[in-house]
Chains A and B, each alone.
Chain A
Amino acid sequence: MSLDYVKFSNGFEKFMPKEYRDMVEHGPFGKKVTVSQMGSFKEVLEEHPMCAGCAMTLFIRLAMIAFPNPEDTITVGTAGCGRLAISQAAIPFVYGNYGDQNGVASGLSRGLRLRFGDKPKDVVVMAGDGGTADIGFQQVLHSWFRKERFTTIMLDNEVYGNTGGQESGMTNRGAVLKMAPLGKKFEKMDMLQMAKVAGCAYVATVVPNNPRRVESVIKKAVLIAREVGSTYIQAYTSCNIEYAIPTDKVMEDAKTVENDRYQFTEYVSEEAKQYLAERYGYKEFLPKPAAAIPNKA
C-alpha cells in the first residue's frame, strides 16, 4: 500500500499487459484526478461482469475516482453485485463472509493505524443494502457505536439483486419483486437516522446522476474517517434487472427517484466541520464571522 506497488519491477515492464502499463503510467496514483478529467486518464477500475447499464457500476466507478489517495486505500466488500466490480480494480480488496464487512474493516483500520501510525491509510466498505441493513446490520451498527474510523457506503438498489430479487430492509413498502410476490409489508428502514443516533460524524445520501456530488461526498467521508469517526454514505444505485428499468432510462429513473424520495442530504458533525476546514481548507465549513451589529442611529 504505497506508490511502490504501482510501479514496474525491474525488467518486467515490456511483459506487462497494456492495461497494466497504462495504469502505472497514466493512472491516478500519486496525482489528484477529478471527475471532470474522466475520459483522459486510466482509471483504477477494470472490466468486470456487472450488468450493462447498472447504476451501481457507475457509482463504483465514480467512487474510485473520488478516493483522495487511491494508493493508500483498501476496499472491503461482501456478497452482492458490487463486489463483482470492486474486486476488479487496482486497489486492494478484502472480501469476507456475507455481512461481516464492518467487523473486518474495524480490525483492518485499527491494524493499519498500529502499523503506519499517523500516515493515512483509508478503509472504505462498499456493500449492498442487504449486506448493510440486513445481514451485516449488527456489525455495521456496532462499528458506528464504537466510532471506528472508516467509511461505510451502502449501494442501495432496494433489493437483493445478486440472488434474483428478494426484498431487503431497504426495499420500499408495497414493492413487488420476483421473490416477494405479495409486496413488501414493512417500511424502508431509516438507516440515515440510525447512523446519526449511533454517532457517525458524516452521513449523506446521494444518487449517481450527479457525478460531481458523488465525488465531493466520497472525498469528505473518507477524509473525516481518517481522524474524526465513522462516516456513512447511502447511495441510490438502482437495479435495472430486478426493477425492469430499460438501460437507456437508468439515469432518468435516478433523476425521478432523487426528486421524489432520495434527495441529497448531508449531515456533518461540528467536529468534522472544524476538521475539514482547518485540515483540508473546506471554506464552507470555516466558522462564520460574527454578524456586524447594526449601528443604531
Chain B
Amino acid sequence: MPSENNTPILQMQNICKTLSGKEILRSVSLDINRGELKVLIGPSGAGKSTFLQCINYLLIPEQGQIILEDTVVNPGVKKDLYNYRQQVGMIFQDFNLFDHLTALDNVAIALRKVKGMSKKQALEIARKELDRVGLSDKGDLYPAELSGGQKQRVAIARALAMEPKVLLLDEPTSALDPELVGEVLSVIRDLAKEGLTMIMATHQMDFARALADEIVFMQQGEIIERGSPAALLKEGSGTRTADFCNKLSDMCEELD
C-alpha cells in the first residue's frame, strides 16, 4: 500500500533536552515513514545519542512530543511508557547484553517478563530470531563467550523479538573490530530490505550512501542538513554533510 508509506509512523516534534544545565538538543524535529531508514550523522557531541535516547524515552525531554501512529505518547504514565518502549526498539553501541543469560535467554527474557509468554513459547521465538541474525548455533553461549559482532547480533535479535515498529540504532558498529563490522551491517541491511523502519546513528558512510532514504546531519544539538544521500553527498555539492564525510574518509585513510 503506497499510501501507507507516505504517512509518518513516528514523529518527533520540537524535542529539547538539557543535561547538567547544558542545552544538548535544541528543538529537534524528525518524522519517519513506515519502512524508511534514516541515518543520523554528525560530529562527536552533536547530540545523536541523546536524541535517540529521547526517542524511546530513556531520557525524558523537557519539551516536545512524540507521536507514534497518530497517538501522542505520554511518558508520564508508566503503562503507556512501557508499552511505547516495546514498540520502539533500541540497539546500543556497547551491546548491553545481559551477562548472566545465554544468548537464547537474552532474547527470551523480555518476551516472558514483558509480554507474559510461557518459557516454551518465548524460547521458540528466541530461536527463530537468533536464526534470523545467523546465530542459530550460538544460543547456549553466554555473552562473555561471544565475539563483539555476535554480541551485537544477539542484541538485534533481542530487540526484533519484541516486534518493534521502529528500531533505533546508536552507532551499532563503533565498538567492533573492523573485521566484525561487516557481519553486523549485513544483518541491518537485510532488515532494511525487509522494510523495517529504522533510525540509525553511524559513521559508516558507504552504508548510509547505499541504503539510507534520508541522511540527517546534526551539529550542536540541531539538525542542520537533511536530504537524500545522492543530494547531500554529491561531489562538489558543498554541503556540510559532504564536507564532514570527506574529513571522515581522510581520517580513515590516515589510520590505514
- A interacts with B: no
Q: Which residues of B contact A (CB under 8 A)?
A: none
Q: Which residues of A contact B (CB under 8 A)?
A: none
